[in-house]
Structure 1
């Protein structure tokens, strides 16, 4: 892993392959490893950069965690790698960060992707769910929270057939710090509506949508598909919120098709 320092905080990231630059941003309670199945394919034709977002994996938590401060770390990595423009694709919370980055630094983007993510703000109901999550984490810690909530991100069928993979995924995250998860939750609650960012974004947008996603509902994701002038949409019929694991081939095909369209 590579590391850079931002305000005396360590930010870790991996770089794979060579070619046109693509950055993949992981979601809440994840780290760079969530993209392992995508790296194996994309690194053959692209330079794939994957940060551990601040407070995740090998990266220190920032003093202030918001979508905007985490977007600044994206810029710092691109500058450190001397990359003028890249495609940035974010999963879930990573998509919120990609949108914050697109709002402030559209000139750095060749394309923008939302993988099980949305430009809509939290509903009041969603905010309340996150607040309950914060209270649970404060009381029970991060590991028990991840152990209880992560299985809900997969379809029942996937869990039935791949229970070992779900357990391995959860165990990999057992050292997550409660403070980071709580900070992410507050940051997600506070994030604004960024549908205008998609409307104003002049480059192609990628939407990968899980038909059975309860974290980012299918109908809400579809409502984003008409906002941009050019949108690539893939619906993963057999996925909930973790399509990069649930439907690996279809996810990779969607990413490759989009990137080929960008870098043709």
Structure 2
């Protein structure tokens, strides 16, 4: 079933039509506002959009069973169509990376460049899958997002937690504004996702793989696994950052995304120009 309700989109900047837009997909359990600093620092004048994934931020839930990131990817594609965005540089961090991979799998013509930040192409193992399902049930049983509030600290790198503890408050505020239904749906959808490493092997365009060197949720080894599968990868390891590099070091992320977008422009003009 194809989603019919467009997702909420934050338009950080509107640029000329000859430059590929950059579409940003956020981490769990946050929303598109996690990209505020990156979008402000992004070089150039191209369009920068950030999408609230289903049930999070300002986006309605999909109301589908069972939960699936394939449906989330279809909803992103439909939303971009409504904005007259046919091809873009698709960037996802953590869960956003999973959705970016699903979009590449299901709608490959839309992806002119691919950014995979602090994420992985592999599926959950049995223990991780069971934990996601347990947390989803706990969220619904309690009627609160309390079960995921500790992620405000856990997702940040050790250096960030020590030197900039205020960032945990910022992340915690975003978590606290999400709905129980949206967070639980996301957990179940992530638990059900397949291994999409083979999808990376089919992608010939420019790709950025970026990871914090203190990321324990999707460590450097996972980034290297994706690099090995890609035809034209660029690996960036962000020093002194954990899982939320876009919040912990937005300048580094913005610079890397600017380079990716420029490469995608050149590649797209060569192929389609």
TM-score (structure 1 length as normaliser): 0.91
| Matches for 1:17-96 after TM superposition, within 5 Å | 17=13, 18-19=15-16, 20=19, 21-42=21-42, 44-64=44-64, 65-96=67-98
1:3 aligned partner? none
Matching residue of 1:12: 8
Provide the C-alpha distance between the structure 1 equivalents of 2:108 and 2:117, rounded to a whole number of angstroms.
Answer: 19
CA drift of 1:68 comes to 0.8
- What is the CA RMSD across the aligned residues, in angstroms? 1.7
Which structure shows the higher strand fraction? 1
**Cα 1:224–1:11 shift into 2, 3 Å:** closer
Aligned twin of 1:151: 153
> Higher relative contact order by CA 8 Å / sep ≥ 6: 1 or 2?
2
Instruction: Give the Cα separation in 2 of the matches to 1:216 and 1:128.
Output: 18
Give CA-to-partner distance per residue, 1:201-235, whole Å, 9 cap, x none.
Answer: 12111111122212112212211111111001101
Deviations 1:172-221 (A, max 9, x none): 33131112111111111111110010001121111111222121122122
1:129 Cα deviation after fit: 2.5
Q: Distance in 1 between matches of 2:99 and 2:8?
A: 17
Q: Quote the offset at 1:241 in angstroms.
A: 0.3
For structure 1, which runs of at least 5 residues remain unmatched after alignment?
1-5
TM-score by length of 2: 0.89
Give runs of aligned pairs for residues 177-216 of structure 1, distance below 5 A.
Answer: 177-216=179-218
Q: Distance in 2 between matches of 1:197 and 1:162?
A: 37
